[in-house]
Every structure is written in C-alpha cells, then in structure tokens.
C-alpha cells in the first residue's frame, strides 16, 4: 500500500488540508495600486509562508515577485515605487497617491533589515499603523511564526491591509485576502493540539505501565 498522501495540485497541499475553497474566484484585480515583492531565497523553502496564499488571491497583473537578497543592477524599480516597511520617516498609507507600486520584503525580520540597506536611500517609505487598520484587525493573527512585536505582521497580512487601504475597501478586501491565511493557521493549531494530545497519551500509558511493573 502506498504511503503517499493525495495532493491538491492547485495549492500544492495534501487534499485533507486543501485551501482552494478559501481563494477568491476569480482572483482579485487591484485597480489603484500594484504589488511588488522582493523575496529572500530562503523563504521559498518555508512551508508556512504566506506569500503563496496572496499570489493565489491576486490576479497575475496585480503582483510581481523578484527573488533575491537584493535588486540586481539590471533590475530597476518603477518611479512611483514605495517601500512598505517601518521607519522613522515612514508615511501613512493613506497619504500614498493612487497608482503607486507597493514594495514588500518577504523575509525574516533580520534578513529584511539587511535587504532594506541594499535599496536606494531615497526610496519613499510607508508603514502600517495598527491604529489606522480599523476594527477588523486581529493582533498576532499569524501566530505560527512569532513576530518581534505586535505591530510586526507577516508578509501576507502586510499586503492584505496595505492594498485594502489603497483600494479604499475599508477592511472588506483584507478579509478576503486573509481567509486562506486564517484557515492555514487553524489547521496548524488543530494539528499541534492533536500531536500534543497524542504525546500526552503516550506519556500516561508509559507511566501506567511503569506503575504496574
């Protein structure tokens, strides 16, 4: 008997934890902004990455991805590119003009800080301010990976809230884009609970056997 699990081709996950029913159909087309991702090579190997979920939610014309620790000399940014990353002089997203390209760094926080230093010094920067995200914001939503602070969001969360603000969707677009992420987190917690329950049962059985002996 084969030990291989049945896989869902579109989401590249076992069919038992398929996320396909959480993706919007058709994918969302952004009208007032464009998303550009600078993806650290190591992130492609992470099973709990949020970027693949966002890529399934947005149409191909709304998002581009560059893989690398830095931009190559041959890779130039559009003139209206704005980096979405915390900083002392960062503006609010609500101050960004329509038609801008939002640049996100998909990496661990330590790697992201290194990547920022390779970008043009005069690149405008905006940051997500939790106080501006409205009542639908959930802190530590993606708790599979522990952020340094409550205001440090996963890439998927950053993109969802940033494009929601740019598109003027008042939380509705963010909710759509975060639905797959919420499902993935729920599946992860369920699996962890079952694993811990199994380990606890093994421990109890071992103790009981020791008592009998």
Residue ranges covered by each domain of the chain = 7-130+142-212
18-22, 47-51, 154-158, range with the lowest pLDDT: 47-51
Question: In this predicted model, what pLDDT tens digit does every residue of 119-155 receive, in sequence order?
Answer: 998 899 998 887 787 777 777 777 777 766 666 788 9
Residue 149's pLDDT is 66
Average pLDDT, the chain: 85
Residue 83's pLDDT is 96
pTM value is 0.84
Taking the C-alpha atoms of residue 113 and residue 17, their distance in angstroms, rounded to an integer, is 33
Residue 200's pLDDT is 53
Q: Which class is domain 7-130+142-212?
A: alpha beta
User: Is the confidence at residue 109, as pLDDT, over 80?
Assistant: yes
User: Is the confidence at residue 211, as pLDDT, over 50?
Assistant: no
Taking the C-alpha atoms of residue 80 and residue 185, their distance in angstroms, rounded to an integer, is 34
∠ CA 201-207-208, rounded to 5°: 90
Residue 126's pLDDT is 93
User: Is the confidence at residue 12, as pLDDT, over 80?
Assistant: no
6-20, 60-74, 88-102, 131-145, range with the lowest pLDDT: 131-145
3-17, 40-54, 59-73, 100-114, range with the lowest pLDDT: 3-17
Is-contact 40 106, C-beta < 8 A?
A: yes
H or E element: which one contains 33?
A: strand 33-39
């Amino acid at each position: 008997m084969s030990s291989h699990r049945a896989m869902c081709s579109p989401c590249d996950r076992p069919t038992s934890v398929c996320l396909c029913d959480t993706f919007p159909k058709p994918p969302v087309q952004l009208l007032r902004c464009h998303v550009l991702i600078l993806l650290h090579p190591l992130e492609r190997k992470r099973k709990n990455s949020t970027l693949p979920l966002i890529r399934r939610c947005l149409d191909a014309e709304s998002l581009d991805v560059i893989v690398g620790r830095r931009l190559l000399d041959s890779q130039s940014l559009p003139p209206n590119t704005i980096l979405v990353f915390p900083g002392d002089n960062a503006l609010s997203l609500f101050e960004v003009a329509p038609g801008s390209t939002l640049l996100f760094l998909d990496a661990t926080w330590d790697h992201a800080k290194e990547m920022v230093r390779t970008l043009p010094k005069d690149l405008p920067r905006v940051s997500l301010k939790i106080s501006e995200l409205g009542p639908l914001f959930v802190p530590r939503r993606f708790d599979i990976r522990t952020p340094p602070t409550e205001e440090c969001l996963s890439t998927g969360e950053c993109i969802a809230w940033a494009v929601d603000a740019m598109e003027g969707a008042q939380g509705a677009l963010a909710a759509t884009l975060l639905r797959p992420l919420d499902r993935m987190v729920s599946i992860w917690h369920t699996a962890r609970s079952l694993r811990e329950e199994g380990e606890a049962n093994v421990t109890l059985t071992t103790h009981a056997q020791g008592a009998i002996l």
